Structure 1
Amino acid sequence: MAVAPSTAARSIELPAALADWLATHADALDTSPALASEVVPRLAGAGLFGAGVPEALGGSGGDVRDAIEAIAAVAERSLTAAFVFWGHRTFIEYVLQSPNQALRERWLAPLLQGEIGGATGLSNAMKFLSGIESLQITATPLASEQGGWRLDGGLAWITNLRKEGFIAAAAVTSSEGAPPAVIAFRSDAGGTERSADLDLMALRGSNTAAVKLDGVHIGEADVITHDARAWLPAVRPAFLGMQCGMSIGLARASLGAAHRLCTVTRSGLLGRVESLQAELARAVGQMHEGVADGRFKSAAAPLFRLRISLADIVQQAVMLELQGSGGRAYLMNHDRNFARRWREAAFIPIVTPSLTQLQMELQKQAAAAGAA
């Protein structure tokens, strides 16, 4: 994996073997779970999970911007693989930002090597942070010699719940009034039940399922943070920034295709395509600057607006690709990549936090500022 210097704009070049595999199997990953087990090992084999992870901890160095660009590079070929990448790499970020050294020592190396799937599980928590949703899992302290906590509840939608084994993060509320915490639970823990894969209309190779926890025991070594309210805002820029990598890559792919088409058959659209490419580059630059200087940790609104803007650019990009193709886009033997990107683009506005949720939060912030 080639990573640009940390002071420059990021540029990730995928290893040829991985790029070819993604190009060959992008449709299958989108429409079938048959290859779901291969995604994490192939991304790990290419060294992608180490993007933005300190070299001293086994990564390839850089910072979150490198992870964003690596996810974007994968999303140009397959949003399904990028979705898995985001979930796994976001969990790695939780381990990196956790004050729990034991957690880091136990799980970071297996996660970087793809030996176990990492699942972010904190979409519910991010909505909780914005007052949109209550926490879905309760932690009850155990008085036995084991100590620790009992987990009960569930999450309706988590990606990268690998059937071969996973570790997932979740925010939990205390049965005794302690502050909400963020914990990690494993697929092999007694009482953890994974549902069948959700019946998605696309991204079916992403190991996306629901999970139910019934009396799952965790200990202190499984606690990511004891204070979710203080910790979540600090990790949110990485969570959302890497999530935006999916939009960036998909928009680049559609705009690249549209540009090639317009230079041949629809030259009248070329100016619009190039204008949107410039708009995308500006948004990416703003994302890089915000995650690098830390401004998004104290001011979430600009980050929310960037997520909304990038989602809008994706919708415009696939529309320009459609217009550049014309009626040929409806021919199955013309370019199956367009049909897949059209389905992939439908997912961008609804991945949690959805555009509707972000817009609601921005309205709340604006109303609060107006009342102050």
Structure 2
Amino acid sequence: MTGGARAIELPAALADWLATHADRLDTTQELAAEVVPRLAGAGLFAIGVPAALGGSGGDVRDAIEAIAAVAERSLTASFVFWGHRTFIEYVLQSPNAKLRERWLAPLLSGEIAGATGLSNAMKFLGGIEALQITATPAGDGWQLDGGLAWITNLRKEGFVAAAAVTSAAGAPPAVIAFASAAAGVVRSGDLDLLALRSSNTAAVELQGVRIDEADVITHDALAWLPAVRPAFLGMQCGMSVGLARASLAAAHRLCTATRSGLLGRVEALQGELARAVEQMQAGVQDGRFKTAAAPLFRLRISLAEIVQQAVMLELQGSGGRAYLMNHDRNFARRWREAAFIPIVTPSLTQLQLALQKQAAAAGAA
């Protein structure tokens, strides 16, 4: 990688496990309990975390590359990775030392799963959706009521999740953490997804859940969210990057052997992908996306479009053989995985709406 992010090579044991079980991870819930422990055992959650805090060093760009490396083999596993590592990033960027002392070590070891839970907050920040959870003062803390319809990595063996909540009148919204073990936290059954079924994706209801100051990630979501959004979206883009790389690599092999007329298009798209990744990594590194979100939104949209083109080129490179179940199940899986990229929150439609609002506001100024 350019600009300081190191190339990530997955440990052989993990790479082999993902390659062997990618289809089951996508189509069944049988392996949901194994994903977090295997990623943790390979040391992936420590990537981009300061060594002084128990990590292996580097920065968010390295975490993006690690998520991409996993996505090349299984989007389900990378989706879990993204949710978990994004929650770790919240803990790292929180001013609350007590929160960090409580959760960082068990998150890095995979003892507990981390769930980002801030898709609702990111939509709220863009003026797309109201906050879904209320926080009412109660004693020395707050009582939480409400729910979130879709969160990934709500591991049945135990999780901690982030959520943006309304605050007292006149105060900005806050971002808090709540644990599955807390009274009043009700996890639904796994959502009946088309794909990515071993991702522990479910809804959660909060019914009179009590939290205190140690559970507060930030008291000012409006100031904090723009600063963490580049990591949130950058690591999310890692899923697109890895899936596009895998599909283009397959297309390149196929076109070299049988469809050489497509080879130029494949190589041109590989170059476009590399340039988009370089732009994203540079913007994450120099901080420009903290004050200018639009370029990052456009990169997320561009990467999603590259994924769609990549799987189409892989299909064309295979020809009719791709439609045979016994030909290459990796293609069928990538086709399903690619269908998820445009709709993961914030979806392409939501990002395009946000860009339109920004353009309209700029024009009216």
TM-score normalised to the size of structure 1? 0.97
* Cα distance in 1 for residues equivalent to 2:125 and 2:203: 21
Query: Percent identity, aligned pairs only?
Result: 85
Aligned equivalent of 2:30, options 30, 34, 45: 34
Partners of 1:369 and 1:168 in 2: CA distance: 35
- SS class of match (2:145): strand
3-state SS of 1:263 partner: helix
Deviations 1:28-75 (A, max 9, x none): 000001100000000000000011100010111000000000000000
Say if 1:90 and 1:239, in contact at 8 Å, map to a contact too. Answer: yes
Return the alpha-carbon distance in structure 1 between the equivalents of residues 164 and 8 of structure 2: 32
Amino acid at match of 2:351: L
**Aligned counterparts of 1:47 and 1:7: Cα–Cα separation in 2:** 23
Q: Tell me, what secondary structure is at the counterpart of 2:257?
A: coil
The answer on 1:121 being equivalent to 2:114 is no
> Contact 1:159–1:208 (CA<8 Å) still a contact in 2?
yes
The correspondence of residues 29-68 of structure 1 with structure 2, limited to 5 A, is 29-68=25-64
Total equivalences in the alignment? 365
SS for the counterpart of 1:174 is coil
- Is 1:80 the counterpart of 2:91? The answer is no
Task: For 1:308 and 1:7, locate their aligned partners in 2 and report how far apart those are by CA, in whole Å.
Answer: 22
Structure 2 residue aligned with 1:288: 281
Query: Aligned partners of 1:174, 1:68: CA distance in 2, in Å?
Result: 32
- Once the 2 structures are TM-superposed, how far is the Cα of residue 177 of structure 1 from its aligned partner? 3.9
* Residue 300 of structure 2 is aligned to residue 341 of structure 1: no
The corresponding residue for 1:367 is 360
Q: Do residues 311 (structure 1) and 304 (structure 2) align?
A: yes
2:24 is the alignment partner of 1:25: no
Whether the 8 Å contact between 1:159 and 1:206 is mirrored in structure 2 is yes
Give 2:245's aligned amino acid.
Answer: R
Deviation of the 1:178 alpha carbon:
2.2
The reply to whether residue 216 of structure 1 matches residue 216 of structure 2 is no
Instruction: Work out the CA distance in 2 between the residues paired with 1:245 and 1:170.
Output: 22
Alpha-carbon distance, 1:10 to partner: 3.0
**Separation (CA, whole Å) in 2 of partners of 1:217 and 1:99:** 21
Which secondary structure does the structure 2 equivalent of 1:52 belong to? coil
Preserved CA contact (<8 Å) 2:3 2:282: no
Moved more, 235-244 or 177-186: 177-186
4+ residue stretches of structure 1 with deviation over 6 A?
none
Measured after TM superposition, the shift of residue 268 of structure 1 is 0.2
- Partner of 1:133 in structure 2? 129
Question: C-alpha displacement at 1:179, in angstroms?
Answer: 1.3
Return the offset for 1:121.
Answer: 0.1
Distance 1:141 1:310 in 2: 43
Amino acid at match of 1:82: S
Matched, 1:91 2:84: no
Choose from 241, 250, 260 the match for 1:257: 250
User: Is 1:228 matched with 2:221?
Assistant: yes
Structure 1 residues 134-173: aligned runs within 5 Å: 134-143=130-139, 147-173=140-166
The 3-state SS of whatever aligns with 1:200 is coil
Q: Which amino acid aligns with 2:202?
A: A
Contact 2:96 2:218 in 1 (8 A): yes
Q: Give the Cα–Cα distance (whole angstroms) in 1 for the partners of residues 212 and 16 of structure 2.
A: 43
**1:265-276 residue pairs with structure 2 within 5 A?**
265-276=258-269
Conservation of the 8 A alpha-carbon contact between 1:259 and 1:270: yes
Q: Deviations over 1:73-115 (max 9, x none)?
A: 0000000000000000000000000000000011100000000
On the 8 A contact 2:186/2:205 being kept in 1, the answer is yes
Q: What whole-Å deviation, never above 9, does each CA across 1:157-184 have from its counterpart, x for those lacking one?
A: 0000000000000000025442100000
Distance in 2, matches of 1:179 and 1:286, equals: 33
Q: Is the 8 A contact 1:138 1:175 kept in 2?
A: no
Name the CA distance, whole Å, in 1 between partners of 2:55 and 2:174: 27
Residues 132, 48 of structure 1: alpha-carbon distance in 2 compared, 3 angstrom cutoff: same
Q: Does structure 1 conserve the Cα–Cα contact (< 8 Å) formed by 2:115 and 2:160?
A: yes
Displacement of 1:189 in angstroms is 0.2
Match of 2:183 among 190, 193, 217: 190
- Which secondary structure does the structure 1 equivalent of 2:156 belong to? coil
Unaligned runs of 5+ in 2: none
Are residues 103 and 9 of structure 1, via their aligned partners in 2, closer, same or farther at CA, if it must alter by over 3 Å?
closer
How far apart, in 2, do the equivalents of 1:26 and 1:199 lie? 18
> Does the C-alpha gap of structure 1 residues 19 and 224 become closer, same or farther in structure 2, counting only changes over 3 Å?
same
Q: How many Å apart are 1:8 and its aligned residue?
A: 3.1
In 2, the alpha carbon distance for the partners of 1:211 and 1:364 equals 31
Q: CA RMSD in A?
A: 0.9
Write out per-residue CA displacement over residues 246-277 of structure 1, whole angstroms, 9 at most, x where no aligned residue. 00000000000000000000000000000000
Match of 1:109 in 2: 105
Aligned match of 2:239: 246
